[in-house]
Structure 1
């Protein structure tokens, strides 16, 4: 309980200490089918699980290990052509036995998991073969079996989803895999040894491996060693249950085992921890993939770098994936240092403090004495951990889970070398990143597959400048450079791609040649003005008072609107790292009148105050570009608008580039060019906005404009380049207006007549004589009173109570004035 409490507290504390990460956003993104990034795909309905890739040395042939087959693909040209195919599937009885053992039939075919060059004429392949591994020799030219299949146990995993690694050196196979059906016996072995050399493996009783997951292996000729990379349970961390650690282990190819001690066992095996960790964080302790970057020409082999992808066992780390690099010099230093020793009684690891009898992992120990071999047998775990270069992370991603990588050193136009990483995400995107002094810069991302792939692989072909991605559906060929996509010098420089630079002669972005130059490229700073100093750039000051009068505004793209119409004008982003800003001449865009949308577009209601010119600017790395210019103009005869349908254009408009002058307000003008890009011509209308219960629709206008109009039956005039393409008059509603007006007049007349009639009836009822009262009072009044009241007897009083509601003094009715007591003025009331 104390161990778990301590672990919980540590994880929580380090979670609060996580530093904030800057998001690494790819500058340009290419979804599947994007015309800006051409990909070559190979797929066949009879071929699945093309995930084991082997590339010939010249890069002309790609061998693929698939399900129940081995393929030879001709990749010399742009297309991928199937040259030959070898079918190798288990017989029906083996499939039935596999199913009877409780395995899914989908996992029982033969999945090729080992594919290596045995020599110049033959390949060596191993497959799961219905959970009973087999290996064969294949003629590389004809792709036919040369010999009968061999036993594959210890050379290939049983389970197609179990990771493994294999490499052939001098005709001998070195593998890291599991050697039993249940996957409980991990081994690092050597096979195909001949003559005095014998096959070797790890001693099963020593616990040299603790439930490992093998990742990769590489051979360094000058060292005479093979390095294996894997993750396993770190038993030295006894205060945490099943704490995963990443390992690097080594063996010498000259090892032939001991004479008495460690017979047919490795005498040069040693392992150490790879520690990919940032300050104040838990380590990224689970290795996912690793690749070797050999030193540049003339550099010593100790400068070899290993770039690996690591993830964390916990979710408190600031990033999902981290990239760390390790130098061979540091690895050798750890292996020549002190080693831990395991107390067999307490099963506790401790650092060895006594004098070392020998250096574990040193080549040539197979001829050592039994005392030395017993020492290296029990001391195989290095005491120190291998720290990353610079004691820091090379790259951290807070958004993506990277699974595979390939690394390449690229010489830029200025003859400097840069490291480029190709990283495959779990979601199916390939990221190309360049490592700079101030951090990593993701140049682009390319979507290579849509559905998640459980097993996939990368293979980089430096001679052909392409990278191959193997997935369950097929093989994707991705060129490492995409220079033609950048249509201006500014775009070429802002990409900061070591593969590309701007050629001022042809005025195109081209692949870097071997001739050094300082023009058209700035990988470290991305300074457009300095890199494009030989190219004329468009530079304009920003709109503002006394800077650019309305009369001097360029026409731009004409937008014909009606008053009170909701308009949306778009600003195409130069890249995902740019920021869009809208401006008007001699005017400020108030948030009360304008709505700035997340995609950079501007929406507003057409009023006399909002008509005029609009300029969309894009800012990136201190450089300014004009992406769109609009002139919003009122129609001559505004009408109720109809849903507008705009066909998408076949080409994008040419953006005008601008640079923010760093030395003064000097103005130089020029216009950049853009390549044509094809889009679908299907019309698009979909409701996206509601204003006061009025449904409005969106129509695409060119590349930059979207109009918002009310639904009716009228068609809109479409403009392209300021010229009307289609104009149609809307329907006339004059007749309906006249009918509505006549009905309104009739209703008002009837209402007035009824009101006047009701008032007249009310007055008449008040002045009508009462039968009983008039006869009785006429007998009791004097002749003068009766004569005065004979015409208008409005109010009378009987026993002191009013008979009518005329108690308000001073009432006029039919021209007669009555007093407050209901009698005429100065007339005494009748006494009973």
Structure 2
């Protein structure tokens, strides 16, 4: 319990120490069917689950293991994939009925081809699940016909069509990693099709050499004469409450024929070690998803063979992340030649103790060893040390994309340097092409290869043809590894940083690079456009010539209209910047939207030219120029010269905004800016959407031009709401003022006042005054001479309130 507490504490500390991840954003993205990326799809209504792929050596024929069928596809033509032949291989009605009686779903009872390997130059060895009763057969590669009756495939092919397995044929012998029973509880690494004095071998089931494994891949190293298996399993050496998954690499020797008395017909050279995909101060990525081998460069030793694998983590702190780690063959051999753990059969606990080595586990030739040595290697098959990644660091870490499959290729660039290119398949249906640089991984592009996530997928790379094949339930997709023709300018070709592509200055095109073309412009490491394209620099003042405006798109608007100017992104890694000559783009007048567009209200101060720049890796290029002017009434005259703000920044250009000589007033050449279309972000092909005009438009032409729909607001709703609110406020203020004045007037009229005696009253006699008072009292009693005051109270004829003494 104390060890578990310490482990939990250490995992918590590691989670806090994990560094922030750098977002891996593909530079260009292509949707399914985009004309900017040529992708060929093969599909047929009667063919499904085309998930097992086998490519011929010359790359002209692709054999596909599907459901109830084996296909031979002709892939020699670049424009299409054609079906040359098809072998139907399905269970009988009786087999399907027995499969259903076993409690299996009918959807899983067909024959799913899971093993497809070349046996020799003329035959293919194929195995299928065959209604949860595996079968294997020999198929003629030329005619795609069975050469013999299918036999039992137990231990060669899985029963469950969705259970992962691995198989490889070397020198006519089949080496497999799968399960050997119906329930999937007996994992086995075995050899089949042995002839002569060689016998078929498998693991000893009673030793627990494998703990609920998931087989991923297998690889043959000719110089070592060994087969390496990669899988994940439960790590029994760790005393955890929950099952801890670990990734493994195991090895067996091809020369192994089993022991004479001990380990008869069993492997004597089996050994396994942990693959640790982990960087310093980070939690490990412990679950392997896929792995591929990269042979050493020409002239390098076999120990330089690299294995690139995709790993995920079972820890919640790393949930959703994918990591790519590389392992060197020399490090794997070093771990296998070191110490081994000891298993206590009574407590089933692994420990490491210093002991005398009777034999070296994993060493070839142990089948001739003594019984004592074989018993030692039988008990000691787990290496004590773990295989660490190259450089003790993770090659790629992504929190945005969940990778499932990969393949790797070494590419020689125009400068004769070699670069490693990874092709990574995501669970969302995208293929990422990434080049590994000293600064980190750079994702050149992503291509959507299928729309729906597929349960079974595979990748097959043809380096000879430069093609990549993806197998899924929807069909087979072929993707060229290079897409150089998409970059139609030198800056775009250089900024792609694709080792497959380089800029040819002679034909002014981006072409596939080779070491023989030393004149190609290419900079994979830095992507420096100025040096690779020999571009010139010029200031903002040169963009708008004093004598003539540059070419651009005319936008006719009305005053007080909401204008929105679009700015196509050169790539997903670029940033858009707006400029205009006579004023700065104040945040009070202009709104920069997330998609890079610019929005503002058309006023006399906001009319005029606008320039959109795209900045990427220190390089600026012009992607759009607009001239906004008033539509109604007399056409506003565009000024012929502009003054830029002080200390303008410097921009470089070569083709994105290219200086083109044009005839000046006196026959001299002046510089005119010509904008080049650039690819957009997700669709990556909306680049040529800016219509250019060369000359200053005439006044009549400006009146005839319609408004740019993409640059106008849909209605005047915003202005209507503002005017309505102001009108309501004004009316409310006016009514309140009138009521206040009326109330003040009424108060002044109803307030009691000391009235001075008039001259008539002074002339009256005392008798007359007494009679006058009597008549007033009488009138009050009879209700005569009454009226309403301003506040609604009754008043007398004298203007005073009733009962008010005078």
TM range (shorter): 0.7 to 0.9
Aligned to 2:315: 314
- 1:35 deviation in Å? 1.0
Structure 1 position 345, deviation (Å): 1.3
Helix, strand or coil at the partner of 1:472: coil
Is the Cα contact below 8 Å between 2:28 and 2:571 reproduced in 1?
yes
Native 8 Å contact 1:538 1:670 kept in 2:
no
Give, in whole Å, the separation in 1 of the partners of 2:687 and 2:333.
63
How many Å apart are 1:8 and its aligned residue? Answer: 4.6
Alignment of 1:624-703 (within 5 A): 624-637=620-633, 656-657=656-657, 671=674, 673-674=676-677, 703=689
Matched-pair contact (CA < 8 Å) for 2:550–2:672: no
Contact 1:539 1:658 in 2 (8 A): no
The within-5 A match list for 1:199-238 is 199-238=200-239
Once the two structures are superposed, the pairs formed by residues 522-601 of structure 1 within 5 Å of their partners are: 522-533=523-534, 537=535, 539-542=537-540, 553-601=549-597
Range with greater deviation from structure 2 (428-437 or 8-17): 8-17
SS at match of 2:94: helix
Match of 1:605 in 2: 601
CA distance in 2, matches of 1:590, 1:216: 59
Aligned mates of 1:69, 1:381 — CA distance in 2: 40
Structure-2-length-normalised TM-score: 0.82
| Matched residue, 2:199 | 198
Change (3 A) 1:657 1:632: same
Give the whole-Å Cα distance in 2 for the aligned partners of 1:346 and 1:474.
Answer: 51
> Which structure has the higher relative contact order (CA within 8 Å, separation 6+)?
2
Q: Does 1:508 align with 2:509?
A: yes
**Compared CA separation, residues 31 and 795, structure 1 to 2 (3 A):** farther
Find the counterpart in structure 2 of residue 776 from structure 1: none
Residue of structure 1 in register with 2:420 after alignment: 419
1:393 partnered with 2:387: no
Q: In the alignment, is the contact (CA less than 8 A) between 1:41 and 1:477 conserved in 2?
A: yes
Q: Per the alignment, do residues 77 and 609 of structure 1 end up closer, same or farther by CA in structure 2, a change over 3 Å counting?
A: same
Are the aligned partners of 1:538 and 1:658 in contact in 2 as well (CA < 8 Å)? no
Partner Cα distance (1:612, 1:398) in 2: 44
Q: Write the deviation string for residues 54-84 of structure 1: whole angstroms up to 9, x where unpaired.
A: 0011111100000000000011111111000
Provide closer, same or farther for how the CA distance between residues 169 and 621 of structure 1 changes in structure 2, counting only shifts above 3 A: same
Unaligned regions of 5+ residues in structure 2, if any?
A: 636-653, 660-669, 692-698, 709-741, 743-763, 791-796
SS across alignment from 1:493: helix
Correspondence for 1:21? 21
Looking at structure 2, the residues matched to 434 and 89 of structure 1 have their Cα atoms a distance apart, in angstroms, of 43
- Compared CA separation, residues 376 and 582, structure 1 to 2 (3 A): same
User: Residues 118 and 555 from structure 1, CA distance in 2 versus in 1: closer, same or farther, beyond 3 angstroms?
Assistant: closer
Q: If the length of structure 1 is used for normalisation, what is the TM-score?
A: 0.79
Inter-partner Cα distance in structure 2 for 1:302 and 1:74: 36
Q: CA RMSD in A?
A: 3.6
Q: Distance in 2 between matches of 1:795 and 1:465?
A: 121
Contact (CA 8 Å) 1:415, 1:516: kept in 2 or not? no
8 Å Cα contact 2:530/2:536 also seen in 1: no
Q: Shift of the alpha carbon at 1:3?
A: 6.5
Alpha carbons of structure 1 residues 618 and 365: separation in structure 2 relative to 1, 3 Å: same
User: Cα distance, 1:703 vs. partner?
Assistant: 3.3
Q: Deviations along 1:695-745, whole A, 9 cap, x unmatched?
A: xxxxx999369xxxxxxxxxxxxx9x98956699xxxxxxxxxxxxxxxxx
Indicate the residue corresponding to 2:753 in structure 1: none
The equivalent residue for 1:33 is 33
Task: Tell me the equivalent position of 1:102.
Answer: 103
CA distance in 1 between partners of 2:800 and 2:54 (Å): 121
CA distance 1:675–1:590, shift in 2 (3 Å): closer
Deviation at 1:807, TM superposition (A): 8.8
Change in CA separation of 1:727 and 1:443 when aligned onto 2, cut-off 3 Å = closer
Distance 1:411 1:217, change over 3 A: same
User: 3-state DSSP class of the match of 2:385?
Assistant: coil
Query: Matched residues in 2 for 1:821 and 1:93: separation?
Result: 117
User: 1:618 is paired with a residue of what secondary structure?
Assistant: strand
1:543 Cα offset (Å): 6.2
Q: Distance in 2 between matches of 1:121 and 1:539?
A: 62
Partner of 2:718: none
Shift of the 368–159 alpha-carbon distance from structure 1 to 2, 3 Å rule, reads: same
C-alpha change, 1:722 and 1:601, in structure 2 (3 Å) is: farther
TM-superposed CA distance for 1:513, in Å, is 2.5
Residue 138 (1) aligns with residue 139 (2): yes
Number of the residue aligned with 1:477: 478
| Secondary structure of the corresponding residue to residue 632 of structure 1 | strand
Match of 2:725 in 1: none
Per-residue CA deviation, residues 666-716 of structure 1 (Å, 9 max, x unaligned), is x98764655999x99xxxxxxxxxxxxxxxxxxx999369xxxxxxxxxxx
Q: Is the 8 A contact 2:556 2:706 kept in 1?
A: no
1:539 shift after superposition? 4.0
For the residue of structure 2 that corresponds to 1:372, the secondary structure is helix
Counterpart for residue 55 of structure 1: 55
Aligned to 2:89: 88
1:250 aligned partner: 251
Cross-structure match for 1:151:
152
User: What SS does the aligned partner of 1:384 have?
Assistant: strand
Tell me if structure 2 keeps the 8 A contact 1:410–1:420.
yes
